[in-house]
Every structure is written in structure tokens, then in C-alpha cells.
Structure 1
Amino acid sequence: MALIKKVRGFIPKIGENCYLAETAVVIGDVVMGDNCSIWYNAVLRGDVNSIRIGNNVNIQDGSVLHTLYEKSTVDIGNNVSVGHNVTIHGAKISDNVLIGIGATVLDHAEIGENSIIAANSLVLTGTKVEPNSVYAGVPAKKVKDIEPEQSREMIHKIANNYAMYASWYKDGESW
């Protein structure tokens, strides 16, 4: 069973039909929507400020969500996929976004809807990622525009696949 822990009087609130892997950690001021999945060794640490997650969001293995004390929050919209080993620190992620494997998104960055942050990219503090775009690199810069329908289709497919994967685990037995 995942570690779900009350901190500073805040108890995490988990939406309906969510899957939390046995080694996931959800602490403090975290509110999660419906149909979300939090995978192995992911840490959502709402100890110093709030973390808000929409519906149909997957936080993949090894990712960390955290904030600055009283200065930043994590806000994630709907239909968002946060790849393996991603760090999101005090940033706003709009609806229909894919954050690639190993990316880092720093405080007060804002990721526009229908966007993709490429694997291993570094989105610096205060960066405003344009909607319907792909950002890549260190530091991350816009590399191209994408059609909203194209990005939504791909991003929804990934988010929906993770909902399917989570269903495989919900009734699984441990040895």
C-alpha cells in the first residue's frame, strides 16, 4: 500500500478510481482528481505548500513533485502525463500536456495547454511555455508548434493508456 501521510494538519485527498503503487508517497496538502495513477517511487510532497492534480493524470515511476515554502505551488490540469523521473517544483501545468522522461520544471514555470516538454529538458524558473508547442533542451526552448488536435490525440492516448495500465494492477496480488 502507498504511503499516504498527514503533515501539518493536511491529509491528502485522493479522487475516485485512482491507483497508487505500493511504493508511491503522497504527503500533506495534496488534492488529486479522479482516474489518476501514481506509480512506483513517485513522491508528491505537499509538506510546505499545495499540490493540486486534475483528472486523468499519471505521475510515472520515480517522479518528484514539491514546492517552495509559502512561495510556489504545483498545479496540474487534466489529461497530463508526467514521465518517468520527472521533477516538477512549484510549477503550473495546463491541460493536455506531456512532460517527457527525466525533464525538470522549476518554480513559477507555466506550461501551456496541448504542449510537450521533451525528455531531459530543463524548464527554468518563470518560463512561460506557449500552448500547442514543443520545448526541448537545457534550458528548454521552443522547437516547434504543433496542431492542437495532433497534440491532444497523442497526449490523450498516453493518459488513457496509463489508466488502462493502472487497471491491470488494481486487483493484482503480491507474492
Structure 2
Amino acid sequence: MTSRPGVNIVPIHGKTPTIHESAFVAPGCTIVGDVTIGAESSIWYNCVLRADVSRIVIGERTNVQDGSVLHCDPPRPGDPEGSPLLIGDDVLIGHMVMVHGCVIEDRGFVGLGAIAMNKAVIGSDAMLAAGAMLTEGKVMGERELWGGRPARKMRDLDDAAVAGMRMGVVHYAENAKHHSAAVNEALD
């Protein structure tokens, strides 16, 4: 793992973040402990990823937008696995999101300011609406839209909504390349 300009990378408990060389991590981010970030993923300005008590795994081409907070929970009596944060490939995580010890399957979407709590699951091609709170242990099925506080299923997503989310993944992967170049240019 190489250093990243303006990014706070903090090893703890013998674990150092692993960031794929093609991933973009914006200045102002803090990445702590047992974090893995996959190829072509992007972590945008002022995000905190803190894996000090369990692990955070982020797949490929996933984006975590500005100001989001990612954390996990340790093993406990009766829960030897704890609540790692496991995020798949091609996931969109909006601005100011908090995801904590949950699972986001491939192509899942978490809207602006939403919260997903321990052991919750956001299914493939599913969307947690902006501002929603997915409480502990709730499971969203594939292609479902959930919203509200607490979040409940609102409807199934149609092909157009799913296509729109996939376009968002492509946009952020491309935009990350531009930001990476701009950050590097600003340092020269």
C-alpha cells in the first residue's frame, strides 16, 4: 500500500488498510485499520472508514461519496462474527451516509443521508432511499426500494431505475479518474 496525498491512513491492532492502486481516495479521508478497497473504487472527500474492531471490505467500482462514515462492530457473546461491513461491487453510497456493520450486495444503492445498521442487508440492485434508516437485522430483497425511518419496503424497482443506478456507477468510476488527475496536478 502506498501513501496517498492528503489521506490519513492509520494502521491499528496490526492491521493496515489495503487500497487497490487503481482506487481513488480523495484528500481529507481517514482510513483506519482492517479496510480493503477494491479496484476502480472511489472514496470521496472527507469520508471516514474505521475498521478498528472488525473489518470493512469494499468491492470493485464502488463509490462512497463525500462525508460518509463507515464502521463495524466487534464479536460479542453470542455473536462470534460481530458485524463487519461488507460492500460488494458496483455499489453507490450517497453523500453523508452512515453504514455500520451491514452488508450491501453488488449494485446496491444507499441514498443521500441514509443510515444502515448492524446486520442489515441491502440486496442486489436495491435502493435505500435518501434519508432512510434501515434498522438492525432488516433485509431488503433484490430490486426493492425502501424508505422512511424506520425504512419499509415501498415498491419494486423497474428496469429504468436499475439502469439509472448502473449509469451512476459508470459516471463515478470515470469522474474518479478526473479527480485523481486533478489532485495529482495540484500537488505538482
Aligned equivalent of 1:166: 176
1:16-75: CA deviation from partner (whole Å, max 9, x where unpaired):
311110101111000111001001110110111000111000000000000112221000
Amino acid aligned to 1:32 = I
TM value normalised by structure 2: 0.89
The whole-number CA distance in structure 2 between the counterparts of 1:109 and 1:34 is: 25
The whole-number CA distance in structure 2 between the counterparts of 1:51 and 1:151 is: 28
Structure 2: stretches of 5+ with no match in the other structure: 76-81
SS at match of 1:101: coil
The answer as to 2:36 corresponding to 1:31 is: yes
What is the CA distance between 1:152 and its match in structure 2?
3.6
The 8 Å contact of residues 143 and 162 in structure 2, kept in 1 or not, is answered as no
The whole-number CA distance in structure 2 between the counterparts of 1:36 and 1:16 is: 10
**Corresponding residue to 1:116 among 127, 135, 138:** 127
Worse-matched range after superposition: 102-111 or 152-161: 152-161
Alignment of 1:88-107 (within 5 A): 88-107=99-118
The answer as to 2:55 corresponding to 1:44 is: no
Structure 1: stretches of 5+ with no match in the other structure: none
SS at match of 1:125: coil
1:71-110: CA deviation from partner (whole Å, max 9, x where unpaired):
2100001100100000000000001111000000000001
Between the two proteins, the alignment pairs up a number of residues equal to 174
